Amino acid sequence: MPHRHRLIVAAGALLAALVCAAPASARIIEVGATATEATPTCPSSPCLAVSRTTGYQAKVVDSRAAYVVPRNGRIVAWTISLGSPDERQVEFFEDNYGEASAQLTILRRGKRLYHRVIGQSPVMELQPFFGQKVQFPLERSIRVRRGQVLALTVPTWAPALSQLTDDGSSWRASRAKNRCNDTDGQTAQTRMGQLTQYRCLYRARLTYSATLITDPRPNRPRS
């Protein structure tokens, strides 16, 4: 067999071996990435923003799994798409809520919409990134398990909200059932272990996601 042909055969065998080994490797998954990307409203009028709450995307069109962690692993970064509010809009929000900020939160779901905070990223200042889709890498990754939910905590405000939708998409906030219209009250879940009920449902989309590296799966024991 010619030397060059042997190299091609060897390379093909190596590629086949790598393909066969791929299922045992860790995977990189963008949890919250969907076929149709949500667009923040600002600077249109009205300029909609999330304020003083923790929210998670409960449904995207007809899927309830888009923001549910699909496999055990670690969150290594999170991403947020930010609108570009004009000076007047920024002044309004800052006068009422302070400087724009947000953090990623991991929730363990419970009964009757009671969810507990079991992981969080540091709070990030958002104004320098208005008008961008920005990814924040984590200095310390966050351990997550299958079935947990990715949420966005906004202690102040964030231009990270779509227009109202009629396609079935909706998000839930950590507000009491009778306080859904109170966007000034502070309900952001900022402490580990906090447990609260997410009773308020809004027909819109939050513009965030997170990067998951799944745990590698070991080889099966040989019989």
Q: Domain of 110?
A: 26-214
Residue 33 lies in a domain: yes
In a domain, 39, yes or no: yes
- CA dist 42 and 47 (Å) reads 4
In a domain, 145, yes or no: yes
Q: Is residue 112 part of a domain?
A: yes
Report if residue 6 sits inside a domain: no
In a domain, 20, yes or no: no
Q: Return the closest-CA partner of residue 207 out of 160, 172, 143, 173.
A: 160
* 24 band by pLDDT with thresholds 50, 70 and 90: low
Predicted confidence (pLDDT) per residue in 65-120, tens digit: 999 999 999 999 999 999 999 999 999 999 999 999 999 999 999 999 999 999 99
For residue 220, tell me if it sits in a domain.
no
- Predicted pLDDT of residue 14: 38
Overall number of domains in the chain? 1
Does the residue 222 lie in any domain? no
